[in-house]
Amino acid sequence: MALKMEAAALQAFLARDFGQVAADFLVDHVDDAGLTLRLAVAERHLRPGGTVSGPSLFALADVAMYLAILSRIGPVALAVTTNCSIDFMRKPAAGRDVLAQARVLKLGRSLAVGDVLLFSEGGTEPVARAGLTYSIPPQQG
């Protein structure tokens, strides 16, 4: 299917509507198969011991799926997460960015469902996985 928003458009959307967190997240790649989002890891994302915190990983998975959906349907600011089930499997490597690979599995009229794998940059084994559901508001006439 044709993408309605490319990486630059998604990044601009994030900067405009989610300015507070936009600096944390960089769209590395988007295509028909899905979207890769980077968490530019900074001090504020860390837990004691230097590992990336659970809420930071959750936020990364959540934003990655959000942008993957927007790449398909265009800039719908009102899509909201209704469910996320996340498994934390390994400690993220210290001092590395985390990359989220999101794919949309269903894009219905009112619900979108997808899943996300999270990797420390350069790693081959996922640090976390998540399944997410978004509610998509009815289109305005």
Residues that bind its own copies (CB under 8 A): 17-18, 20, 44, 46-48, 53-56, 58-59, 62, 77, 80-90, 105-106, 108, 110-111, 113, 115, 117, 125-126, 129-131, 133, 135
Q: Which is nearer to its own copies, 90 or 96 (CB)?
A: 90
The CB-of-3 to its own copies minimum distance in angstroms stands at: 18
The CB-of-21 to its own copies minimum distance in angstroms stands at: 8
Please answer whether residues 52 and 69 qualify as being in contact, where contact means their C-beta atoms are separated by less than 8 angstroms.
no
DSSP string, 44-112: GGBPTTSPBPHHHHHHHHHHHHHHHHHHHH---TT-EEEEEEEEE-SPPPTT--EEEEEEEEEE-SSEE
The CB-of-91 to its own copies minimum distance in angstroms stands at: 8
